[in-house]
């Protein structure tokens, strides 16, 4: 296990002595350096594929906080988030008194190097994230450089990014193999290919199933394994022939990445959803057939979102207010809405060869195109083939 950090004498935390957690069992307390007094500290619990807020506190003038969830925590995965930008994964329940000492970073990255007392499983999972999260943060910077107009710089960034991704996979694999009987192993498996590492997934899930079959994160990782290793039948009747007028990519092709901003100006990337089944949906607020098709997409998203289905909507709008209004009116609740507000000159539409909308593509977990032109019942038929009823 990575040793707990000994803070320098200049720090508010002198030496290696750990203060005891305050409050009754189930209390999570801590000391956070680098954040302003009054900064929020939120505890979220992993439930049915989502993180749900269960308790909140604020930092006092010394950076201390104490929070106690109203309902007892069930043993499983939880996330402590400082100031909405600095997360820390905990594996705990209400029988433990957890105390955290950590420092935030201006970039809002993961709280690596945190001291965690009172929760052995949380200490264990910290070993994994202390290794992979710094690489992940650097990888994002490299990927941004990979969008350079300079061909040489793009290729250099691509090579470096591949090497960094390999490092993350190697660290995750080593951790999962060393902690096969632990809930913390699930965090490592989440980022690995369940087909390539079928036996490791199988052994880990078998070791955990008896005591943790109802654990939400266990069910998610088991779902990854089950979906990746079962025969799939997909309704491909809507598959167009290569060379059709609309869209230059067909089933079997790799889907090019799409990087654009959402209505709030936040950058979103199609590649960030790798590992999920994704519907890429080209549409616009002014497109009547698109708006009539939206209820079908809404129903599919509601039915399969907890099983690993996501929608990535690319709008060919040129007016931001009309785009945002249509999202709200049609209740398109998924977070991944992007546009460069250039209408038909939308960069993604041009890259994909889109000449009419609505146009959809179903993308597999590895980024390859499964099917295109899915409208009406064809979308749900394809998703049933992947996820089952």
DSSP output for 101-119 = EEE--TT----TT-EEES-
Question: What distance in Å separates the CA atoms of residue 225 and residue 196, rounded to the nearest whole number?
Answer: 10
pLDDT at 141: 80
Which CATH superfamily includes the segment(s) 259-387? Glutaredoxin (3.40.30.10)
pLDDT at 63 over 90: yes
Q: What residues have CB less than 8 Å from 151, skipping those under 6 apart?
A: none
Res 2: pLDDT: 28
Residue 382 has pLDDT above 90, yes or no: no
pLDDT for 230 beyond 90: no
Query: In the chain, what are the domain boundaries?
Result: 1-117, 134-228, 259-387
pLDDT for residue 104: 92
Q: Percent of the chain, pLDDT > 70?
A: 88
The CA distance from 103 to 110, in Å, is 10
When mean pLDDT is compared across 82-91, 243-252, 267-276, the lowest value belongs to 243-252
Burial of residue 15 (CB within 10 Å: 0-12, 13-18, 19+) is exposed
Cα angle vertex 245, ends 242, 250, to 5°? 30
pLDDT confidence of residue 40: 94
Query: What is the reported pLDDT for 236?
Result: 46
Of 16-20, 91-95, 196-200, 380-384, the one with minimum mean pLDDT is 16-20
pTM greater than 0.75 (yes/no): no
The pLDDT, as a whole number, for residue 24 is 59
Find the mean pLDDT for residues 359-364.
92
In terms of Cβ atoms closer than 10 Å to its own Cβ (0-12, 13-18, 19+), residue 61 is exposed
The CA–CA distances, whole Å, from 25 to 2, 103, 154, 216 equal 26, 24, 52, 22
Is residue 244 pLDDT above 50, yes or no? Answer: no
Out of 100-104, 222-226, 244-248, which region has the weakest mean confidence (pLDDT)? 244-248
Q: Which pLDDT value is given to residue 48? A: 67
pLDDT mean over 217-228: 85
> Comparing 49 with 290, which gets the higher pLDDT?
290
123 pLDDT higher than 50: yes
Distance CA 32, CA 101 (A): 6
Average pLDDT in the chain:
84
Average pLDDT on 65-72 reads 92
Q: Which CATH number fits domain 1-117: 2.30.42.10, 3.40.250.10, 2.60.40.1120, 3.30.950.10?
A: 2.60.40.1120
Q: How many angstroms separate the Cα of 327 from the Cα of each of 263, 373, 375? A: 10, 21, 19
Query: What are phi and psi for residue 233, nearest 5 degrees?
Result: -120, 120
If you average pLDDT over residues 112-135, what whole number do you get?
94
- Cite the beta strand spans of 40-187 per DSSP E: 40-47, 50-58, 64-67, 76-82, 86-92, 98-103, 115-117
Q: Are 298 and 378 in contact (CB under 8 A)?
A: no
**pLDDT score, position 381:** 83
């Amino acid at each position: 296990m990575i040793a707990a950090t000994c803070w320098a004498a200049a720090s508010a935390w002198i030496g290696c002595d750990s203060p005891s957690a305050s409050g009754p069992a189930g209390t999570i307390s801590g000391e956070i350096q680098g954040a302003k007094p009054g900064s929020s500290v939120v505890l979220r619990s992993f439930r049915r594929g989502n993180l749900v807020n269960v308790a909140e506190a604020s930092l006092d003038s010394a950076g201390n906080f104490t929070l106690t969830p109203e309902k007892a925590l069930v043993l499983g995965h939880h996330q402590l988030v400082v100031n909405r930008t600095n997360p820390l994964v905990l594996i705990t329940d209400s029988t433990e008194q957890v105390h955290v000492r950590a420092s935030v970073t201006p970039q809002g990255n993961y709280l690596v190097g945190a001291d965690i007392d009172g929760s052995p499983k949380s200490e264990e999972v910290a070993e994994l994230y202390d290794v992979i999260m710094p690489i992940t943060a650097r990888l994002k910077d490299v990927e941004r450089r990979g969008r350079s107009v300079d061909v040489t710089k793009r290729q250099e960034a691509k090579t470096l990014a591949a090497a960094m991704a390999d490092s993350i996979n190697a660290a995750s694999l080593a951790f999962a193999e060393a902690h096969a009987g632990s809930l913390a192993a699930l965090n490592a498996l989440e980022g690995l290919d369940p087909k390539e590492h079928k036996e490791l997934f199988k052994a880990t899930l078998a070791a955990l199933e008896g005591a943790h079959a109802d654990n939400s994160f266990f069910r998610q990782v088991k779902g990854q394994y089950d979906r990746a290793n079962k025969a799939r039948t997909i309704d491909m009747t809507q598959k167009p022939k290569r060379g059709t007028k609309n869209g230059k990519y067909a089933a079997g092709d790799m889907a090019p990445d799409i990087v654009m901003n959402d209505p709030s100006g936040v950058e979103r990337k199609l590649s960030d959803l790798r590992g999920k089944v994704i519907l890429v949906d080209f549409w616009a607020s002014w497109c009547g057939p698109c708006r009539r098709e939206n209820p079908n997409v809404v129903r599919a998203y509601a039915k399969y979102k907890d099983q690993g289905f996501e929608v990535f909507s690319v709008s060919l709008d040129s007016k931001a207010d009309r785009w945002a209004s249509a999202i709200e009116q049609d209740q398109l609740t998924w977070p991944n809405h992007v546009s460069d507000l250039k209408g038909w000159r939308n960069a993604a539409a041009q890259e994909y060869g889109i000449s009419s909308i609505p146009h959809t593509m179903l993308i597999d977990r590895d980024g390859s195109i499964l099917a295109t032109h899915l409208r009406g019942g064809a979308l749900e038929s394809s998703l049933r083939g992947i996820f089952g009823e």
